Structure 1
């Protein structure tokens, strides 16, 4: 182990030296003996500072390859009193040509620790500021924070926007700077270290983020608009391009099925079939269909809360102005994991996207009142035409959205699409069953959208019946309906890895009280197998004096072990029973209400082998949300091949942070120009798997810069921006990839057919 200590002596630095309340404790270039510097697998290679390109003198620190090379600062007097300060400050510059992630840890005498991970970009020096309390973008109502650094009081400033833990600021004992697992030596340059007063920096970092069009104010990009005239002229140019692209579309059957490939039996509804070793979706007319879809083609997900954080917005409309019609009220408070720790989750919101549609296309056209309509009598309310209260011309928006999707090579409306799009009968669509009710739930610790529904609870069966009856009511005989999703991203497993996550559903159930139906089902399964507590104790290797102790709330089952394989087997048996009961309940109801349509599975984000196998048993299609560079990185594909079931990718995307919204999505690329190539590669890899029958992009629109209403997500994930302008380079690349997909599928189908032995004439399928 390498460990060095430096106690430097030089001139003293005055405290609270600046008008902004800056207190300098130590300067690496001209150090004092007030601070002790300890180095672990790191070095100060020079005794003096070095001049930067901007003429500033800073001191180099080099972190050598190791698990956690670090520099630790401690006060010679034992502890610092930072109770009057708001942030720790450090003059810093990345000495490399690439970004580094710096781990900053601040400790106090009571054992509390405050930590922050800081993305340190390449470039000139800046003031790093770390708040002396826990904070995050969620405290400001959004998932991701504004990009750093930014100019604050004329200086390049890097604010640590996420800090975790706690601190006693009156008794600070150490500050540590570290890099995690550098594979080669990495260097930074540092200067003054200290603290400064107040929370004004964090307030300033979140002020004035959004302009009147809903765009981020501190960045420029090609599709950004500055006036209503730019919106209208861009829309006119796009119409010409769409007209050309629509004319160039390849010929398909009515529902988008591929022509010139294998023929299947026409059943008047979408179905699946395996031929020549490949699974296919089949259109109602009997042609192969590879579902390339888009999620959330909807007007209902573009608003953002403004109440209580008005300072973030420049140009919000005033009361009485036309655009004030796009304000509304909402409440998204919940205890789900997706919303945990988030502030500004209810109150007044504003819908920038709908407002921009109004700016671009004007008010919806209202039909004239029919001749001879009687006048209202005194005191009678006059009912205005419906369109007078409509804020967006739904027919115009739906027609344009469908033109775009078809021109860009998409053939499916994915989950969460609006009714006017479905009713246009231009693209096949999907519907979520959206089961909800007052049934019992089980926590797996993940609970992103809430606890797992308890399928043993009779109230769940009633809720499923009600939801399915509503979802299928107007679609029973619609050939355009591709199918139904049972749910979305249920928490079948827990967070993390290991048996606690793998069997989180079993562990969570055993912790509950016996008035929960799932626990009673689990106990019955164990009682039927072991008869009494002695049998269970021997099988699990535990001391269980009485069966009643297993029934107590909070019971903690042992971890699986090679010495007691029954533990894991019992967990698997229960989780299999749980999944079978869940999917069978849904399938039985759906077969009654919608016997002609496909059940597309559960859109797994977290899963267990038991849940996936059960879904394959009861559903027509398995569906996964694979947020990976390639689909094959999202799951054990060898296991999927053994199930021999068609698979639909319910969600994937690639985002970046250079078009306004601050979050790059679950699967992020470095810049906008990389999104198109990432999309094309993903689709190519999906086509290479003979059991994958389609992939759906998430989502149509960018999320609001300051976070969507549901959970504060604020990602640049869209084909279209908040101003309703498509990202031209991206959609061009997407269109090319989508059109190539059909050609690839037909070419591969021909090769597969040629490779099959010829069937006797009497057995050959007739067209």
Structure 2
């Protein structure tokens, strides 16, 4: 490796000019004061790859750190640090930058891989991959003209970059001593490293360029050959099951009722979903089985892509425009590159294989795959045309939308909570159910309906349990939910002073409670009435929501199941109300085992069947940068994790099915909705299955169906 000269301009790496201002300190021969906290220097500085570096050992302690205080303020918009990890494993390094004022501070955390010295780069401003249109950044370090550069892609806090006063390098709670080598630390003006870190990260097929894996494609011929091979193997393996009814129900469970529709039934202490023919059905589903999941915004960030096809001619069909600049959803808040032109890499790859008939070919082939892999259900957000083929039972989503009022719970990741006390919500629900059921109410292949998805029944943090109650009282005067809550409190307490005494607050008029932004108190042991009143309100709120949806479903479709609301966060009150009005309570469970994602004791007491409507296990060694919500170390571990989860679900007498999220890997540069970009699919962006994982899934499914 050539010596990296950090005392001058870094040329193409930073794009700065020769007269760019910069200041530096040298941790190999420190002149500035350096404070060592449970850290010690090891020996004299040494020269490695032409760099003067000093060894520092961070002791096994809660927060060992070295802090340097430059004699003058470091001025610039980017810090560059010469560093080497001397351990044979990756070490987590935290970087804290303090400014002139106590309230100015930046924090970053990076994983230092083992290996030769590299340049660690920390932007002196808050930043994250969201500012590049995705949730997880490319792998680091990246190669910049032959030099390894490790960019801190997430930096939190606020700082005037002209007034850096302290630099603190720490290793969080190491279990054994960790040795790192440091050299020069520089603050440089005029950096453009973030763009370099994201340049050219996606190839013409939508694959990540900075990695290799068995299914990676390098030519159209290889793509077509891989598909032909898989289809041939799938055709040879086709064997119609002899131990199932036409819907995929098991023939070995007795004493179940045939009603002509999917329904639930408890027999011999176990809940079952039952096919229209009267056979036990454990729902093994896959979410988002659709051909449009490969769309990612390209407008304004064309530098990230190599080989984008022209926008006209045969490729025009795979371009489109969209706008995702919603201010209501926390999921997309702060997301850049969230509107404009997108390209659909997945569909384009299907076209490369099958030409103009790619969509029909995909539908047939996908159903063949799912059946061969042991699945028996099309989960949420799947292509309706797949359902109409009547080869797999399916679910349908009721998407309630309108101009009705809403309530903030403090989480609001997918938006604020619908206000079920607003008559406009009742009208919107009826319209949404009528639309969702119009063409399927008489279809026996339909399992049932989900209502909405991952509503914010609770807020974030330790006080999140009460977020919806406090958010209701913080609403404006016109809020129907707020007026209903105040009416309940007035009926119980009569006088505002009585409520104030019970809650431990000064309240001399009902108008004070009615004010927009009312700061409702947090429950405490000295005032148990607060928690009692909040619980009562949460019960009433959830009851109003689920009752409204259930009544609309029964009005428009008396045949099919209400499968719940796909809880991500919940309260006991919301779950109890769901159990009262729904046929099945659905949970999106992101945990190692299904029982770790919901209150199993509560569900046994409520005596309702449970459907795990989402789960997955991801890794970052197949292209997309993210590992999903629940990660494993590598691709080889995804299959065993799936098998353990499924076995635990099938052994639970309350659980009637599990649905994997999702069929297709998310785009490397992030999906349109919110920039998610994780490897959680059964197939990749080139529609090639992840063989080892699919084999494990097939075997696990075979044992349970």
Is TM more than 0.5 here? yes
Any idea what SS the aligned residue of 1:304 has?
Answer: strand
**Aligned equivalents of 1:248 and 1:96: distance in 2?**
55
Offset, 1:613:
0.6
Quote how far apart the aligned CAs of 1:249 are: 4.7
1:252-401 matched pairs, under 5 angstroms:
252-335=244-327, 336-364=329-357, 393-401=358-366
User: 2:255 touches 2:267 (CA, 8 Å); kept in 1?
Assistant: no
Give the secondary structure class of the aligned counterpart of 1:114. strand
Give 3-state SS (helix, strand or coil) of 2:225's partner.
Answer: helix
| Correspondence for 2:441 | 476
Deviation of 1:337 after TM superposition, in Å, equals 0.4
CA root-mean-square deviation: 1.7
Distance 1:242 1:559 in 2: 59
Contact 2:43 2:55 in 1 (8 A): no
Q: What is the CA distance between 1:181 and its match in structure 2?
A: 2.5
Structure 2: stretches of 5+ with no match in the other structure: none
Q: Secondary structure at the match of 2:543?
A: helix
CA contact (8 A) 2:292 2:347 kept: no
Q: State the secondary structure of the residue aligned to 2:165.
A: strand
1:410 alignment partner in structure 2: 375
1:371 maps to none
| Superposition TM-score, scaled by structure 2 size | 0.95
1:582 to 545, 554, 557: 545
Is the alpha carbon distance of 1:69 and 1:299 closer, same or farther for their aligned partners in structure 2, counting shifts above 3 Å?
same
**CA distance in 2 between partners of 1:218 and 1:581 (Å):** 51
**What residue number does 1:99 align with?**
90
CA distance in 1, matches of 2:242, 2:61: 56
Quickly say closer, same or farther: Cα 1:127–1:24, change in 2 above 3 A: farther
Match runs of 1:696-707 below 5 Å: 696-707=659-670
Secondary structure at the residue paired with 1:247? coil
Aligned to 1:71: 66
Between the aligned partners of 1:253 and 1:135, the Cα distance in structure 2 is 55
Written as runs of structure 1 = structure 2, the 5 A alignment for 1:163-242 is 163-242=155-234
1:738 deviates by 0.7
Q: State the partner residue of 1:765.
A: none
Shift, 1:110, TM fit: 2.3
**Structure 2 Cα separation of the partners of residues 32 and 539 of structure 1:** 62
Alpha-carbon deviation of 1:187? 2.5
TM-score, with structure 1 as normaliser: 0.88
Report if the CA contact (8 A) 1:493-1:501 is conserved: yes
SS in 2 for 1:503: helix
State the shift of 1:318 in Å. Answer: 1.7
Shift of 1:630: 1.1
Alignment equivalent of 1:39, drawn from 36, 48, 51: 36
Counting only pairs closer than 5 Å after superposition, residues 723-742 of structure 1 correspond to structure 2 as 723-742=686-705
CA drift of 1:24 comes to: 6.7
Contact 1:62 1:186 in 2 (8 A): yes
Gaps of 5+ in 1: 1-12, 365-392, 743-767
Q: 1:144 to 1:14 in 2, by over 3 A?
A: closer
- Aligned-partner SS, 1:75: coil
Residues 18 and 440 of structure 1: CA distance in aligned 2, closer, same or farther (over 3 Å): closer
In structure 2, how many angstroms separate the alpha carbons of the residues matched to 1:443 and 1:67?
38
Give the match's secondary structure for 2:350: helix
C-alpha distance in structure 1 between counterparts of 2:499 and 2:311, whole Å: 69
> Is the CA contact 2:99–2:105 (under 8 Å) kept in the aligned structure 1?
yes
Q: Equivalents in 2 of 1:319, 1:593: separation in Å?
A: 44
Is the counterpart of residue 547 in structure 1 residue 507 in structure 2?
A: no
What residue in structure 2 maps to residue 380 of structure 1?
none
Name the CA shift for 1:250/1:188 in 2 (closer, same or farther; >3 Å).
farther
From 74, 78, 95, give the equivalent of 1:87.
Answer: 78
Q: 2:53 aligns with which of 35, 49, 58?
A: 58
1:513 aligns with 2:476: yes
Label 1:269 to 1:330 Cα distance change in 2 as closer, same or farther (>3 A).
same
Structure 1 stretch displaced more, 675-684 or 464-473: 675-684
Map of 1:760 onto structure 2: none
The separation in 2 between residues aligned to 1:15 and 1:154, in whole angstroms, is 18
Match of 2:356, SS state, is coil
Distance 1:487 1:277 in 2: 31
**Contact residue 292 and residue 346 of structure 2 kept, 8 A:** no
1:558, CA displacement in angstroms? 1.5
* Structure 1 segments of 4+ aligned residues over 3 angstroms from their partners: 13-24, 49-52, 54-58, 248-251
Larger radius of gyration: 1
**Mapping of residues 455-494 of structure 1, within 5 Å:** 455-494=420-459
Say if 1:684 and 1:460 are closer, same or farther in 2 by CA, change over 3 A.
same
The CA deviation at 1:143 is 0.8
Give the distance between the partners of 2:192 and 2:200, measured in 1 at CA.
14
Q: CA deviation at 1:17?
A: 6.9
Question: Given that residues 16 and 24 in structure 1 are in contact (C-alpha distance below 8 angstroms), is that contact kept between their aligned partners in structure 2?
Answer: no
Within 2, Cα distance between the matches of 1:32 and 1:178? 17
Deviation at 1:248, TM superposition (A): 6.9
> Residue 534 of structure 2 aligns with which residue?
571
Give the Cα–Cα distance (whole angstroms) in 2 for the partners of residues 17 and 442 of structure 1: 53
Distance between the aligned counterparts of 1:306 and 1:274, measured in 2? 51
What is the rounded CA distance, in whole Å, between the counterparts of 1:15 and 1:422 in structure 2? Answer: 64
Q: Deviation at 1:50?
A: 5.3
Residues 124 and 685 of structure 1: is their aligned pair in 2 closer, same or farther, counting only changes over 3 Å? farther
